[in-house]
Structure formats: C-alpha cells, structure tokens
Amino acid sequence: MLPRVADSLSFLYLDMVRVVQDDTGVCAQIQAGDDRTDIVYIPTAALSCLLLGPGVSITTPALTTLARHGTSVVCVGAGGVRAYAGILPDSLTTHWLEQQITAWADPTRRLDVAIHMYRKRFGDTDLPGTITLDQLRGMEGQRMKALYKLLAQQHGIGRFRRNYHPDQWHTQDPVNLALSAANTCLYGIVHAALLALGLSPALGFVHTGTQHAFVYDIADLYKAKTTLPLAFALHQSTNPEQEARRRFREDLRLLRLLPRIVHDVQALLTPERAQMSGADAEEEDHSERRDVQMVHLWDPKAGVLSAGVNYASDGA
C-alpha cells in the first residue's frame, strides 16, 4: 500500500543530522555532544517526501532504501522554505504529471485552469462566459492593486508600488525587499510539494518561459494570506529580508500548508474531484491506495493497455 501525499506523515523535515542505513532501517544520527549520538529511525515506507535541510549528509544505501520505498527526497533551505533539487523514485506514479500535461496542452483546458486559479484567489464566480486570458490578467492586476492599496492604508504607508529589480536590490523600499524574500520562501515550499507529486514545475498555466512557471502559478494562490501581510508589516524594518524569512518560518505551519497545496493542485487539474461529496472523495482517496502498476502501454485507439502481454496476431 502506498502512502498518499496528503497523509499526515507525508513530509518530514530534517536538518543538522547524518542519515544512514543500518541493519534495522534508515535512521538520522544526531550529535548530542560529549561523544554521544542519538538515533531516530525514519518511517520510510510511510513517507511521501523527505526534506533535507542545511547540515544534512546522507549515504548512498539510505538513498537506495528511500527510492525503493517510493519516497521523494528534496534538498531544501532552512525550515523547508527553499527547494534546490529533488530526487524522485522510480516507483512514483505519473498520474498527476499526465493530468498536468493533458490540461496544459489543450488551450481550452489551460484557460479553464487559469480561470479556476483566479476564482480560488478572489472568489469571483460571475465571470463572463467568453473571457480571454488577457482579460483575466487585467482583472487580476486590478485586484492586486486594490489589495496593495488596502494593505498600505492599514499600515500607514502613503503609496506603494510593487517593484522587483534584482540589479538594484538594495535601493528598494523595505516592503518590496521583504515581499521578495518571503515569496522566495513560499516558492520553495510549493516547489517541494510539486516534486512530491511528480509534477513538472516548468509547465505553468499562466506563467511560462521558466523552469518554475507552475511554481509561480500555485504560489500566487497563497500570497494574499501569507507573504503580502507579512511584507507590509515590516515596512519600518531595518533588515526586512532577514526578518521576513525568520517570521515566515516561525508563523508558517509547514505540515499544514503542504497537504493544502497538494489538495488544491489536484482539484485544479481534475475539477470533478473538487466537486465530489464527502463520501465520494473518501472513496476516491482509498482508491489511490493501490499496488504499483509497473508499466502500461499506450494505444491511440484503446488508450492504456496492460504491459507484459504479447499482442502479436496468431498468423504473425
């Protein structure tokens, strides 16, 4: 039985430990001082994703066991707020990647996903039936300007304009610096969740042209309630970047946001899943807990066929 990404033990974050394989299983060795080492065993079969933070070293046998148990391994920054690289096991299903590619390659479905993202962010259900992506971008821009204005008024800021200039980083105001730093943290968490699902971070529905396009799409769903209020609260900070990263790590409930991201992504790629009743959703969840289907064959007429079958005709 495979653990689902949204299970309570889906993600485990480690830092400042050495991960090794011993005779019992994979364990984290923690140097406790006075030449004493504490050992904590990792439930690899019950994990969907292991986040390796700063100061972690891991052996090849331990990585082999994690891959054999279907656990994704992601190298992240402190607190899991940045994702640098991901190692996906061979047993990771391509189900959600196929859903993503199918929706991305169809212009109509791609626009539908973009519309669902907009509605999830702003709760606007009475959109025109023939709305275009250009119109959607314009509406999103107006909503964000209104949100910036509201937050600026709440914090006593005369006027705010979102600017992002990497070549002029230290000339920006504290709010923009804090927002850029906090957004980078949010991107790391979203990136880790997408890798754990086996999705492609590069195939975005609104953003495009970068290896993190889908990361930016999904991160936009949560900025209004996470990074934006935090950044405006630091408008008088003398070190907004550092404070933004620290507060983001302290305030964010990592093990709650990751399953939420997973649920939202799955609902965007398969809208019928979000419309299921409680009983149907529970049945669907249980249906995901099945043995690994190793390989399928694709057929242009029949769709998916079973592998391991000789399809030669009798006269061949």
pLDDT tens track, the chain, 316 positions: 444 554 445 578 889 999 999 998 999 999 877 778 899 999 888 787 788 989 999 999 999 998 888 787 888 887 666 778 777 766 667 889 999 999 999 999 999 999 999 999 988 667 777 888 888 888 898 999 999 999 999 999 988 888 877 777 777 889 999 998 888 888 888 888 888 788 999 999 999 998 889 999 999 999 999 999 999 999 999 999 889 988 887 877 655 787 788 899 999 998 776 555 444 544 444 434 434 445 677 778 777 777 767 777 766 5
pLDDT of amino acid 194: 87
Q: Which residue reads 């019950």 in tokens?
A: 46
What is the reported pLDDT for 106?
Answer: 95
> Kindly report the CA angle at 265 between 262 and 266, in degrees rounded to 5?
85
Which stretches within the chain are classed as H helix? 60-68, 95-105, 107-122, 133-154, 174-197, 213-219, 227-233, 240-251, 254-269, 271-274, 278-288
0.85 cut: is pTM over it? Answer: no
pLDDT score recorded for residue 114: 93
Query: What is the reported pLDDT for 123?
Result: 82
Contacts 24+ apart (CB under 8 A), 100-105: 100/199, 100/200, 100/203, 100/214, 100/269, 101/200, 101/203, 103/205, 103/269, 104/203, 104/205
How high is the pLDDT of residue 44?
A: 86
Q: Give all domains of the chain, ordered by start, each with its CATH number.
A: 11-87 (3.100.10.20), 95-272 (1.20.120.920)
